[in-house]
Amino acid sequence: MSPHGPAPTLRALTVLVGLQAAGLLGAAVFFGVEIAVATPDDRVRALVTALLALAAAAGLAMVARGLARQERWARAPALVTNLLVLPVSWGLLQGGRWYIGVPLSLWALTVLVLLFVPPTDAALQE
């Protein structure tokens, strides 16, 4: 770890990934509420979606923690997650939900760039 703390790009990356985890946690809570108010047909789907969102939120929280600690292993799951976000955001754009697709695309692209800028790369190689 650098004596001056992590690189600013790594701090920004950590915040963005942490906010992704928080967003997934929010989605899990939303689907948890859906379980309480949904018709019986939709309860199983809402439960499965809530559990998947909760697991993904926990995973991304661990990745954000790894990035904050300058752990090299955290780059790969952050990379894969945000590569998977791009086709999802593309689908949202094609479906006319540009107001979700555009910010999601920009967020994922920002994370992908921050993963490989020289200061982040140097910080994760230490």
Taking the whole predicted model, whether its pTM rises above 0.85 is answered as yes
Q: How far apart are the first and last CA of the chain?
A: 6
CA distance 31 to 26: 9
Question: Which pLDDT tens digit goes with each residue over 28-77?
Answer: 999 888 888 877 677 888 889 899 999 999 999 999 999 999 999 999 99
2: left (phi over 0), alpha (psi -120 to 50) or beta: beta
Angle (nearest 5°) at CA 113 between 109 and 117: 175
